[in-house]
A and B are shown apart, each in its own frame.
Chain A
Amino acid sequence: MGRYFLKRFVYSLFTILLISSVTFLMMHSIPGGPFTRERAVPDEILKVLNAKYNLDDPLIVQFLNYMGGVLTFDLGPSFSKVGTSVNDLITSGFPSTATVGAWAVLSIILVGIPLGVISALKQGSSIDYSVMLLATFGVTVPSFVIATLIIYFFAGQLGWIPPFGLSTPQSYIGPVVALSGYSLSFVSRLTRSSMLEVLRQDYIRTARANGLSEFSVIMKHAVKNALIPVVTYLGPTIAAIMTGSFVVERIFAIPGIGRYFVESVSNRDYTTIMGVTILYAAFYVMMVLLVDIIYALVDPRIRFEKESKN
């Protein structure tokens, strides 16, 4: 058991390092340096700039320097925002991104799963149909459309929530709904179908035949087993939340990491692109690891299967 976790952890660290190297090489394979402008920069200035950011070193030296920086959590200076480092950008943006993201994950778990369970229990009822209709809507409409609709109706027409920023508690509603919309719908659909599958199983009939109360049949036997595929999906959900933040933060003008990332993409701020990519990838890898560990704890079958396969 312990060996499995250790193995997975080392493997995740290796993944992060590999992602960092690939990102570094990709950004350095772009023709033209980070200071290429439409109007040519004089050679002397270019030389000084390259020397300042150590861009005149051989690629391998730059690579080792950068990787050393990644290992010591130093992602270098930003090329387009003079005087700020990528670390500064991340530390200033992370709190907002993390709060909105945490609320989104929380609402996916606390709203998505119960909705799925309820609609599975009331299969064929009007509750089931309306939940599934809503879930279909959530899966088919892109997050940027949901976000703009929220701004248009709830901020613009009704004036219930502020249209941008995170100044008041109400202002979290829009970003959280837009961010969690897709995954929430997906999770409730997944929970419903897996719940329906579980409810047909023999052990549920056995539990009922043993005279257990309906509540404990549902909560202890059905839901617990139905959640296994949902837990697997939580890893990709985190990816959806993170990449969703690019758009949602831009629309709601939230000063988070996602917005910096989009800005850096359009400004060609290579160090910021690299830094944020590595941060996101590392975060994602760690979350997937966490989900896998939870998964192995919840379902012993999977742990042994994985161990015997390795």
Chain B
Amino acid sequence: MPPGPERFVRLEEQENTANAETTRPSLTYWQDAWRRLKNHKPAIAGLVGVVLIILFAVFGPLFVRESYSDQNLDFSNLPPTLAIFELAPDYYVFRTEDYKVLRIGGDGEILYRLPRTTQDPIKKLYTYSDGDQDIVLDFSYNLLPGKMDSPFDYSFVYQGNEITAPAKTVLNKNYPFGTDVVGRNLLVRVMYGARISLTVAFVASLVNLLIGVAYGSISGYEGGRIDIIMMRFVDLLNSIPLVLYVILIMVVFGNRGLNTMIIALGSVYWVTMARLVRGQILALKEQEFVLSARALGVPRSQIIFRHLVPNAMGPIIVSMTMMIPSAVFTESFISFIGLGVSAPMASWGTLANDALTGLLSYPYQLLFPSLAIAFTMLSFNMLGDGLRDALDPRLRKG
């Protein structure tokens, strides 16, 4: 059959169908990374967690009147939930572990402490007064022989009635996280602790980033003898248990401030970053765009910081997100062994350390700072994992 027009398909139709399948909007590296990050559910959860912690640290203290150092010895060691006794209709009291009696509103608001008027340690009877009414606390049930078998431990006697069981458990309205041993609001302290822990983590990571990127990129770009000497130094630092050196630096500086902690963490942990950046730069510097930049006479520092470092930004950011939680961890560790910021300021590690002494009676004092640490670690780790997947071009698909 001779070739004729009927054997040809119109070009536009073919082109259109092909186009619909193969083209998609062109995305930059960061748009593409964000698109993939959005589809990674744990990473988004981590991101939300990180934002929440930052909001908590930055804005939390603005919403409370107290500061981290305000104390009220009347209200020391109050738990976050109060088992309250109803002595008369709508008349609630709470007995603390150290036999203070507090007047509580029915909704969990702490009103005031009732003064103890007489005490009889032999019979295990304490009398408290509220205005002209006396309240007798009988705590002999769990202590005196003969009464040990009774089903309850304490009883209140008020206007001739004996009340043996708490009426209900209410949430502590004044102190949602409870109070510590001198009656400081734990919620406020955890908020300010978040400020300290996160400031240390962010600034130390930033310092690490700056030192690590500068060191690694210079070492990688220069190559040769400079590279060998610089990397030998890194190897040397890397063969030292770094926490030991952070502790040593803390001891040497002596004053227990935020700055010391930042200097200590920042001066030691840049080693991994330097190695990573060097590896990236080594691979990148052989590419044509560097050659062309050099041929155009771009100065060395500009080649490094305008051309090479931005191209290595993906792994750098991932390593940075991983560095922040480990800085939080190290900071809390060092504070825990007593080298953190000085009182009355407190980071999460210090708070956990303070909680140790009263652990059996007041476990909640350890719970909240530990939860804060764990939550931060988890959020940053999930975000970091997601970022690693999103920023790695080798995993690019679809």
Query: Roughly how many angstroms separate A239 CA and B360 CA in the complex, as a whole number?
Result: 31
Residue B337, interface by CB 8 Å: yes
Q: How far is the CA of A156 from the CA of B361 in the complex (A)?
A: 11
Stretch of A69-77, A122-130, A137-145 contacting B (4+ beta carbons < 8 Å): A137-145
Which residues does chain A contribute within 8 Å of B239, judged by CB atoms? 12, 15, 284-285, 288
Are A139's CB and B336's CB within 8 A? no
- Which are the 6 A-B pairs with shortest beta-carbon distances? A140-B377, A243-B243, A145-B370, A239-B241, A140-B374, A140-B378
Q: A141 contacts which of B251, B355, B359, B374 (Cβ < 8 Å)?
A: B374
Q: With A141-B370, A251-B356, A288-B239 known to touch, is A281 a contact of B338 (CB < 8 Å)?
A: no
Assembly CA distance A141 to B381 (angstroms): 12
Residue of A nearest to B250 (CB): A265
A143 closest partner in B (C-beta): B333
Report if B366 contacts A (CB, 8 A): yes
Task: Verify A273–B251 contact, CB threshold 8 A.
Answer: yes
Q: Do B338 and A262 touch (CB < 8 A)?
A: yes
Shortest beta-carbon distance from A88 to chain B in Å: 21
Contacts A156-B360, A247-B333: A148 and B243 contacting too (C-beta < 8 A)? no
- Known contacts A142-B329, A265-B339: does B241 contact A152 (CB below 8 Å)? no
Contact assessment for B251 and A250 in the assembled complex, using a CB-CB cutoff below 8 Å: no
Contact of A243 among B241, B338, B366 (CB under 8 A): B241
A152 near B359 with CB under 8 A, answer: yes
Q: Which residue in chain B gives the minimum CB-CB distance to A262?
A: B337
> Known pairs A27-B251, A144-B336. 11 more at Cβ < 8 A?
A29-B252, A30-B251, A30-B252, A142-B370, A145-B374, A148-B355, A151-B359, A251-B356, A262-B337, A262-B338, A266-B338
- A295: chain B residues at CB < 8 Å are none
Q: How many A-B contacts if CB must be within 8 Å?
A: 100
Q: How far is the CB of A193 from chain B (nearest CB, A)?
A: 10
Q: Are A250 and B241 touching (Cβ within 8 A)?
A: no
Tell me the chain B residues, 212-255 only, with Cβ under 8 Å from chain A.
236, 239-244, 247-249, 251-252, 254
Please state if A247 and B336 are interface contacts (CB–CB under 8 Å). Answer: yes
Bound complex: CA of A138 vs CA of B363, how far in Å? 20
Chain B nearest CB from A238 CB (Å) reads 8
For window 342-398 of B, CB contacts with A under 8 Å fall at 349, 352-353, 355-356, 359-360, 363, 366, 370, 373-374, 377-378, 381
Taking the nearest CB of chain B, how far is it from the CB of A119, in angstroms?
16
Chain B residues near A15: list those with CB within 8 A: 236, 239-240
What is the CA–CA distance of A31 and B253 in the complex, to the nearest angstrom?
A: 9
Contact stretch, chosen from A18-26, A43-51, A165-173, A219-227: A18-26
Q: Is A79 an interface residue (CB 8 A)?
A: no
Residues of B within 8 A of A142 (CB): 329, 332-333, 336, 349, 352, 370, 373-374
A163 to chain B: closest residue by CB: B360
Chain B CB within 8 A of A260 CB: no
Contact of B244 among A18, A29, A243, A268 (CB under 8 A): A243
Give CA–CA (A280, B370) in the complex, Å. Answer: 28
List 23 A–B pairs whose Cβ atoms lie within 8 Å, in order of A's numbering.
Answer: A12-B239, A30-B252, A139-B377, A140-B374, A141-B374, A142-B333, A142-B352, A142-B373, A142-B374, A144-B333, A148-B355, A148-B356, A148-B359, A151-B359, A152-B360, A243-B241, A246-B337, A247-B336, A265-B338, A280-B244, A281-B244, A284-B240, A284-B241
Task: Chain B residues near A239: list those with CB within 8 A.
Answer: 241-243
Is the Cβ of A31 less than 8 Å from the Cβ of B254? yes
- Residues in A with CB closer than 8 Å to B247 are 265
* A96 touches B (CB below 8 Å): no
Nearest CB on A from B99, distance (A): 21
Closest chain-B Cβ to A170's Cβ sits at a distance in Å of: 19
The reply to whether B240 and A281 contact each other, CB–CB distance below 8 Å, is yes
> Which residues of chain A in 1-47 are interfacial with respect to chain B, using CB atoms and an 8 Å cutoff?
12, 15, 18-19, 23, 26-27, 29-31
* Residues of A contacting B244 in the complex (Cβ-Cβ under 8 angstroms): 243, 277, 280-281
Q: Which residues of A contact B240 (CB under 8 A)?
A: 15, 19, 281, 284-285
Which residues of B are interface residues toward A (Cβ below 8 A)? 236, 239-244, 247-249, 251-252, 254, 329, 332-333, 336-339, 349, 352-353, 355-356, 359-360, 363, 366, 370, 373-374, 377-378, 381
Chain B, residue nearest A284 (CB): B241
Closest residue to B253 on the A side, CB-wise? A30
- The closest CB in chain B to the CB of A264 belongs to B251
Q: For residue B376, which residue of chain A has the nearest CB?
A: A140
When distances are taken between beta carbons in the complex, the residues of chain B under 8 Å from A266 are 338
A206 touches B (CB below 8 Å): no
The reply to whether A23 and B248 form a contact with Cβ atoms under 8 Å apart is yes
The distance in angstroms between the C-alpha atoms of A12 and B242, with both chains bound, is 16
Q: Across the interface, which residues of B come within 8 angstroms of A31, CB to CB?
A: 254
Min CB gap B388→A, angstroms: 12
Rounded to whole angstroms, the CA-CA distance of A141 and B336 in the bound complex is 14
The minimal Cβ–Cβ distance linking B48 to chain A, given in whole angstroms, is 16
- Residue contact A145 to B373, C-beta cutoff 8 Å: yes
A242 CB–B CB distance under 8 Å: yes
Tell me which residues across on chain B come within 8 A of A65, comparing CB atoms: none
Query: How near does chain B come to A219, taking the closest CB pair, in angstroms?
Result: 29
Interface residues of A in 250-298 (CB under 8 A from B): 250-251, 262, 265-266, 268, 273, 277, 280-281, 284-285, 288
CB distance from B339 to the nearest CB of A (A): 7
Name the A residues within 8 Å of B249 (CB-CB). 26
Q: Are A18 and B236 in touch, CB under 8 angstroms?
A: yes
Distance from A82 Cβ to chain B, minimum over Cβ atoms (Å):
21
- Minimum CB–CB distance from B300 to chain A (whole Å) comes to 25
Asked if A136 is at the interface of the complex by the 8 Å CB criterion, the answer is yes
Residues of B within 8 A of A148 (CB): 352, 355-356, 359, 366
Within residues 228 to 257 of chain A, which ones have a CB less than 8 A from any CB in chain B? 239, 242-243, 246-247, 250-251
Hey, which chain B residues are within 8 Å of A139, CB to CB? 377, 381
Q: Which residue of A lies closest to B248 (CB)?
A: A26
Give Cα A140 to B303, complex, Å: 39
Which of A12, A30, A140, A262 has most B Cβ within 10 Å?
A: A140
